[in-house]
Amino acid sequence: MVPCTLQHAFWDEHNKLFLLFAGVVALTVLACHEKQLEYIMGAVCLKGYSRHMTNLSTPATCNWSLTHRYYRELTDCTVSASEIAGCFWPNQEVDTFFMHVHRVYLSECTPQPSVLQDPTAEILGLLISIPVVLTPVMAGLVVWCSKRNNYSN
């Protein structure tokens, strides 16, 4: 087996030959071959992603700094698979594929809720005092301008 590289971690020599053959077959007809796309994404892309994710513990699968590289490789693999199958990317099959990946590997991951806190007394006082002071000042300015315009006419 060929050692994994960042760009082609999922593709060993066997998979490269398969993708080359699949590409030649796909080029014979210009239509999108959804079944071929689904097969390539499952046999090549998901296989490699699964191998990496099963080596991680459950909390580690939710750590984006540990998994973003594998997710990026998975995305790149689906782009290549779409090109081979003659399909646009993204498409419905790719969306369904990623929904499956999220359901299987990332369903335990939830965003950390942000803890909202009340502002400090100083900030709260400032936020209250600004409109309280500006309201009479603006009212006085309107009255002063309207009186001034009445006398000039």
The DSSP annotation for 19-65 comes to HHHHHHHHHHS-S--HHHHHHHIIIIIIHHHHHHHHTS-HHHHT-HH
Domains of the chain: 13-105 (1.10.150.510)
Q: Distance (Å, rounded) from C-alpha 105 to C-alpha 101?
A: 6
Q: Distance (Å, rounded) from C-alpha 93 to C-alpha 78?
A: 10
Per-residue confidence (pLDDT) for residue 24, from 0 to 100: 58
Tens digits of pLDDT across the chain (153 residues)? 444 444 454 555 556 666 666 665 555 456 899 999 999 999 999 999 999 998 888 788 888 888 999 999 999 999 999 999 999 999 999 999 999 999 998 888 877 676 778 889 999 999 999 999 999 999 999 999 888 877 665
Q: Distance (Å, rounded) from C-alpha 16 to C-alpha 42?
A: 15
Token representation of residue 51? 């191998």
Q: CB atoms < 10 A from the CB of 103, how many? A: 9
For the chain, helix, strand, coil in percent to 5 are 70, 0, 30
Q: What's the pTM?
A: 0.55
- CA nearest 110: which of 78, 64, 75? 64
